[in-house]
Structure 1
Amino acid sequence: MTARHLSYPDHARAVMALGLPLVGGHLAQFLIGLTDTMMIGWYGAEELAALTLAHSAFFTLFLLGAGVAWAVMPLVASYAARDDQVMIRRATRMALWLSLIFCALSAPVLWFSGPLLRLLGQTEGVAANAQIYLRIALFGMAPALGMLVIKSYLAGLEHTRIVFWVTCLAAALNVGFNWVLIFGNLGFPALGIRGAAIASVLTHGVSLAGCIAYARARLPEHNLFVRFWRPDWEVFVQVFRLGWPIGLTNLSEVALFAGSAVLMGWLGTVPLAAHGISVQLATAAFMVHMGLSNAATIRAGNAFGRGDADHLARGAWTVLALSAIASLLTVALFLLAPAPLVGAFLDPDDPDRAAIVASGVTLLAVAALFQLVDGAQVVALGVLRGVQDTRVPMWMAAFAYWGVGMPAALGFGFWLGWGGPGVWLGLVLGLAAAAVLLLARFWGRTLPRFHNTAATA
């Protein structure tokens, strides 16, 4: 049976077979940051507040650089559909080049992050601790982005299980690294937030090494690192053109959440700590939608490479439905068991525990509101990237996040005096606006144009 004749249940099974390892890989990757947050939360509330800001700053830059890595996924999927092995290699190599260039450009921002955070209104102690973390974490940027490029290459070829297992191994090692380096076990000194940063760098390195080892062993025909030093400017430009709008779209969204962390910092250490925990929980749910979005990108890329419009449309509906089901399950969890979820991040003897839990429970109730729209907007982005439509979606997302979301967060949180819940309601509006605009883009313009192109080909 060809892809053109797949039924919706067939699409659902195919998406689940491809997407579940990607979901698991994203969740395992998320656990690297989650274990940092939980263990630092046990170490101290002030360190947790600093780590919240440091993670926001690091991942703001990381996701900007991730644009070229994620561009590899639709390109490789499209080239694989055409059986063009040479272009698979060329695109992946140049994405690695672009990632290394980005790492060099981002290093000064991470190194001098303390003064930047103080300019944004953060306290001296929080800014200093965040800078300590980021000066170490910058050495993990190159392996983290390199790993993402190789993972996107493997996922585009539908080698998704290895992505899952390598990332699971790295997440497990990160727990051990944190236990040793944060708290000073096995004869090591207790390094606190420095230990969390070192553990993350080591973990990113292990992930990269595992993915490269698999690629060299199982896909030797691509020879990704043979004569790696040789430039390929034509493909360099191609990957950059597709990747920079993805990176800026990532930046728009992650900066929205980083900006919300700054706003919560203005409200005090307790609201900021509660925000950090709630963001971690909401991000865990988002990883499910991200994995489904990646599956949508791969399958849309294959449909694009074959010129199969029916496969593209059915696949998009299927992924949206699966994302909606995942959202409803998350809503139930956030509304029925918020206190144990928030409390798991905190030392039982922390004097601020009760206040942080109370604030976090309220924020999770608001987070339940944006699950459906958050899933819908990231799946829409995934499908659009699969057909290499990235520039207009970039502008749509930027408008939704910053033209709607951030002004609403300021208005509800400070002008109306609703505090932390008001800031989060602003996030809900921004994500909802993005979902509406991006879905309208796909169903109203991109898909009809693809139908017309496929019909005349």
Structure 2
Amino acid sequence: MTTRPDSPGSRTSCTDSDSRFRRELRRIALPVTLQFLLQSSFSVIDQIMIGQLGTVSVAAIGIAANFIGLYNTLVSSTAGAASIILAQSIGARNPQQSGKAFYSSLAIMTVVSFAFAAVCGFAPAAIMGLYSSDPATVGAAAQYIRIYALGFIPQVVENIIAVYLRCTDAAKVPLYAGIGAAVTNTGLNLVLIFGTPLTPALGIRGAAWASTASQFVACLAVLAYFLRARHAGRMPDGAAHPEWELRPGVYRDRQGLRTFAAVLTPMVAGDFLWQLGNNVYASVYGHVGTMAMAAMTLINPLTTLVFGALAGLAQAALLMVGRRLGEGDADGAYATGRRLLRDGFLASLAIGVIVVLLRGPYVSIFDVDPEVRDTTRGILIVFAVLFPLRVVNMIMSSGILRSGGKTNYIMAISLLGTWCVGVPLGLLSAFALHWPIVVVYAMVSQEEAAKFLISLPLFRSRRWMHRLASGQGADSMQ
């Protein structure tokens, strides 16, 4: 039977759909957004404290953060692949598929964490030398990254458990763990960076130790909750339905491995290539000069903060759209995606205006050279103008398009946007034309325009829709 759009049954259906949308958005997006905002707020405080150490220390942490970003990308991409399958498996009531996605991803992420920790432990100066030609900056960054790498392994455990908890409507747990980690990081920064009457001032090494300790706090918090939930057979607060139980296991059968690899491989490759492009950008900024690199580092806390304000929409898009695909509701998945894109765009416009208005007071709190402050203010204007485009791309690429599991689309978008537009324009403007860093940043950011022009038609075509977790196996929803 077909219900007319203007019939009472249709109105009831729309009301139910709106109610479900709002309920899911609160459960998923709000805790994730609060977690990102709180972490970003503490990051701003941390950056202010580190900023008191001088331009070299600010630049050193900036180049270290770019290599750490490569590691974070591999870990988050693997967790993201698991979340795609978990979301659809939950929609299809398939706990066996959920367990395989969870434990297979955990095994892969553990191997990656050991590899990166070893590299950072044995050759930190060689790695940091790729980002800067300033010996003082490289030396400080090497000290920082060697200590920071000790937190890689607990970060892996926290990451994959947090993904599962969000998929089962227990997103408040990672939020609380994130709050505890952020408070720990900030408190230890105060003690370790500047010292006390009883303890020495460790400077940049103190910042690294504080970050590592906070990773352990977050890991222990979510792990304790997870183990308690596993022992009880469901979430302690009753958030997860018993049919969603996470069953132990890894992918061993050919079909399961093929499905998991089809989601994981393009996703990791695309995200890694995108992050590698960001590292090329960082190398460009670093070789433009230490002042330029310091200015790019100073924008990070604020830009992370404003992205965090809308990060929950991308996570909500992945899980909400993925669940509807798992249920076989293609129209509902598309409508949910459209609504999230609209909300994200409107919110980003308002936030961009706020960034422009607050750029002066924000920059004035850092104890850096006047040239760095002026440059940072200019970069923030460019960021604010392009912010709505970045948010729409984030929701589409990190959420909607990924939810169908066709992550080869995301890889293609990253390749074309980053390596065919952003990287060439960055190298050309910095090394051939010798333009100032603000203009170089504006040229590099044109990758967002390229990604949008590719992603929007793809979203409208619905070719990204793919059902991974149906009872009979993967099927197309076109």
The alpha carbon displacement at 1:390 in A equals 0.5
Distance (Å, rounded) in 1 between the aligned partners of 2:443 and 2:136: 28
Q: Which residue of 2 aligns with 1:391?
A: 408
Candidates 271, 274, 290, aligned match of 2:295? 274
Following superposition, the deviation at residue 428 of structure 1 comes to 2.2
Task: State the Cα distance separating 1:174 from its structure 2 match.
Answer: 0.7
Asked if 1:102 corresponds to 2:103, the answer is no
- 1:89-134 CA-to-partner distances (Å, cap 9, x unmatched) read 2321221111111112223432313123324442111111111111
Q: Is the alpha carbon distance of 1:16 and 1:320 closer, same or farther for their aligned partners in structure 2, counting shifts above 3 Å?
A: farther
Match in the other structure for 1:137? 148
Return the TM-score normalized by structure 2: 0.86
User: Does structure 2 conserve the Cα–Cα contact (< 8 Å) formed by 1:67 and 1:245?
Assistant: no
Report the AA paired with residue 313 of structure 1.
Y
- C-alpha deviation, 1:316, in angstroms: 0.4
AA partner of residue 296 (structure 1): A
In the other structure, the counterpart of 1:208 is 219
In the alignment, the residues of structure 1 paired with residue 156 and residue 466 of structure 2 have an alpha-carbon distance, to the nearest angstrom, of 33
Q: CA separation in 1, counterparts of 2:392 and 2:314?
A: 9
Give the CA deviation at 1:435.
2.0
Using the alignment, how far apart are the partners of 2:259 and 2:211 within structure 1?
32
Kindly state the Cα deviation for residue 309 of structure 1 after the two structures are TM-superposed: 0.9
- Structure 1 residue 368 and structure 2 residue 373: aligned? no
Q: Which runs of 5+ in 1 are unaligned?
A: none
Instruction: Please say which structure displays the higher CA radius of gyration.
Output: 2
Q: C-alpha displacement at 1:420, in angstroms?
A: 0.8
Amino acid at match of 1:180: V
SS at match of 1:67: helix
Superposition pairs of residues 44-123 of structure 1, within 5 angstroms: 44-111=54-121, 112-123=123-134
Question: 2:166 matched to 1:155?
Answer: yes
RMSD: 2.7
Choose which of 18, 27, 30 in structure 2 pairs with 1:20: 30
Higher mean displacement: 8-17 or 60-69 = 8-17
Q: Which residue of 2 aligns with 1:37?
A: 47
Tell me whether 1:331 sits opposite 2:347 in the alignment: no
d(CA) in 2 for partners of 1:332, 1:77: 35
Q: Quick one: which amino acid aligns to residue 384 of structure 1?
A: L
Give the Cα–Cα distance (whole angstroms) in 2 for the partners of residues 448 and 74 of structure 1.
12
Flag the 1:17–1:250 CA change in 2: closer, same or farther, 3 A. Answer: same
In the alignment, is residue 297 of structure 1 matched against residue 318 of structure 2? Answer: yes
CA deviation after TM superposition for structure 1 residue 32, in Å: 5.8
Q: In structure 2, what is the equivalent of residue 180 of structure 1?
A: 191
Offset at residue 214 of structure 1 (A): 1.6
| Contact 2:389/2:452 (8 A) holds in 1 | yes
Q: Which amino acid aligns with 2:323?
A: N
Q: Shift of the alpha carbon at 1:241?
A: 4.0
Give unmatched runs, 5+ long, in structure 2.
1-8, 236-243, 468-474
Change in Cα spacing, 1:8 to 1:437, as seen in structure 2 (3 Å) is farther
Aligned-partner residue type, residue 372 of structure 1:
P
Which residue does the alignment assign to 1:433?
A: 450
**Is structure 2 residue 418 aligned with structure 1 residue 408?**
no
Query: Which of the pair is proportionally richer in helix?
Result: 1
The code of the aligned residue for 1:378 comes to M
Bigger CA drift: 128-137 or 419-428?
419-428
Write the distance in 2 (CA, Å) between the matches of 1:217 and 1:146. 15
Does residue 251 (structure 1) correspond to residue 272 (structure 2)? The answer is: yes
> Shift in Å at residue 297 of structure 1?
0.4
Measured against aligned partners, the alpha-carbon deviations of 1:399-427 in whole angstroms (never above 9, x if no partner) come to 10111011112233443333111221123
Aligned-partner residue type, residue 181 of structure 2: A
SS across alignment from 1:83: coil
Distance 2:342 2:444 in 1: 23
Aligned residues: 447
1:263-285 CA deviation, whole Å, 9 max, x = no partner? 22122222211110113322222
Provide the C-alpha distance between the structure 2 equivalents of 1:72 and 1:311, rounded to a whole number of angstroms: 22
Q: Is the 8 A contact 1:408 1:425 kept in 2?
A: no
Distance 1:99 1:154, change over 3 A: same
Counterparts of 1:75 and 1:454, CA distance in 2 = 15
